[in-house]
């Protein structure tokens, strides 16, 4: 399976951004930011896909928009999960970073 352009441009930045979000912020705040960005991403992509599908398949635009948005949102979730796992591994192997980040970033 080969990722298309939108999936490639989604997966790599999401891994990097979620790595830093989960590295610097608490897990609770990181998950809130993750779910908020996931909802915004899904609805933005859904509106773009239904607009695109309206030109060629106006009778199926919502189905096409939902399925494409669902697939790309799943790719977004996988990228965030990879970033979460990488940040937790980093914090596990470098315990002094936890105390440093707690002092520097207080929310």
pTM of the model: 0.78
Neighbours of 21 (CB within 10 A): 19
The angle formed by the CA atoms of residues 56, 39 and 84, to the nearest 5 degrees, is 120
For the chain, the C-alpha Rg in angstroms (whole number) is 17
- Write out pLDDT tens, residues 48-106: 989 988 888 889 989 989 998 998 899 899 999 999 999 989 888 887 777 776 677 66
Q: In the predicted model, is pLDDT for residue 107 greater than 60?
A: no
Domain residue ranges of the chain, discontinuous segments joined by +: 17-97
């Amino acid at each position: 399976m080969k990722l298309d352009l939108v999936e490639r441009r989604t997966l790599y930045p999401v891994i990097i951004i979620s790595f830093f979000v989960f590295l610097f912020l608490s897990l609770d705040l990181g998950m809130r930011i993750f779910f908020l960005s996931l909802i915004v991403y899904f609805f933005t992509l859904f509106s773009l896909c239904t607009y695109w599908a309206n030109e060629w398949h106006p009778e199926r635009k919502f189905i096409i928009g939902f399925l494409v948005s669902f697939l790309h949102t799943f790719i977004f979730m996988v990228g965030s999960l990879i970033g979460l796992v990488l940040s937790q591994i980093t914090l596990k192997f470098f315990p002094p970073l936890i105390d440093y980040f707690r002092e520097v970033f207080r929310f």
